[in-house]
Structure 1
Amino acid sequence: MRRAIFPGTFDPFTIGHYSVVERTLTFMDEIIIGIGKNENKKTFFPLNKRLEMIRELYKDDPRIKVEAYSELTVDFAIKHDAKFIVRGIRTVHDFEYEETIADINRKLSGVETILLFTEPELTSVSSTIVRELLHFGKDVSPFLPRNMKID
């Protein structure tokens, strides 16, 4: 069984995240979307709401599980016997940051990181921008997966 962790804050889960999951399913048997608890980040949606929204989105796909975690991502991967961490890359800055974390994770545990480059039409989509739009009452549906419900 090839299992990967897809970690993030997912505040909210965007079409970019959705794309990474869909593309990862072409070479992994199972994905655990791990919502990291980061006390230093001020989130728009509470953790329980983010869990609920993403679980609802994937409720009919047994290959995808959604869990929250508060330990190191690599420890979360080991706990779930996942040999891979999947990350999406939008910019060169993302790549440099993820490369450093991937090297440390591999040295700590042997867990490999797979970096997927964002599809060109999605490079401008980020949770930060979507949160800003939500804050100002704008329609964010073009930036969310088609069946994602935000109440």
Structure 2
Amino acid sequence: MSRIAVFAGSFDPITLGHFSIVEKALPLFDKIYVAVGTNTSKQYLFDADQRFDMAQKSFSTFQKVEIAAFEGLTVDFCKDVNANFLLRGLRNNIDFEYEKPIAEMNKKLYPDLETVFFITDAEMSCISSSIVRELIKNNGNVERFLPPGLKL
């Protein structure tokens, strides 16, 4: 049985933290889908095509990573691609408190899905898409918070 994982998010924009989680997960899985989601209740800085393109550029050298776009529930996307693992990154206990009930609900909706948490490296714990978006909006330099080679 293949070990297929999904790392889902809005990736608005994708950050070095996201990149690091996928790098950590690569040795554990046969395939990782970086699933760029769209939530109709969110207002994005980058449109769906731009976010998808950023993810593709970020992971273009990783053979086991496939970029996909999806709408709706992450758990339904996991079913569609036969994934049994959902990857999540944790920067702090607030992230854990947010992610834990979601993982529990996903397990109820799809019993074969296991959420795997990765602890963010300390030097990346302050990086979030929302902070990077604020820097972008205020003409700050975000290059060091983005995956290698990604230019906005």
* 1:24-35 correspondence runs (5 A): 24-35=25-36
State the partner residue of 1:109: 110
State the partner residue of 2:60: 59
Work out whether 1:86 is the aligned partner of 2:87. yes
Mapped to 2, the partners of 1:129 and 1:5 lie a distance apart of: 24
Does the CA contact (< 8 Å) of 2:13 and 2:133 recur in 1?
Answer: yes
* 1:2-151 correspondence runs (5 A): 2-110=3-111, 111-150=113-152
Q: CA deviation at 1:146?
A: 1.4
Does the CA contact (< 8 Å) of 2:85 and 2:114 recur in 1?
Answer: yes
Structure 2: tracts of 5 or more residues without a match: none
Structure 1: tracts of 5 or more residues without a match: none
Q: CA deviation at 1:56?
A: 1.9
- TM-score (norm: length of structure 2): 0.95
Mapped to 2, the partners of 1:58 and 1:17 lie a distance apart of: 11
Aligned residues: 150
Does the CA contact (< 8 Å) of 2:19 and 2:58 recur in 1?
Answer: no
Mapped to 2, the partners of 1:41 and 1:108 lie a distance apart of: 23
Instruction: Provide the identity percentage.
Output: 39
- Once superposed, what is the RMSD of the aligned Cα atoms? 0.9
- TM-score (norm: length of structure 1): 0.96
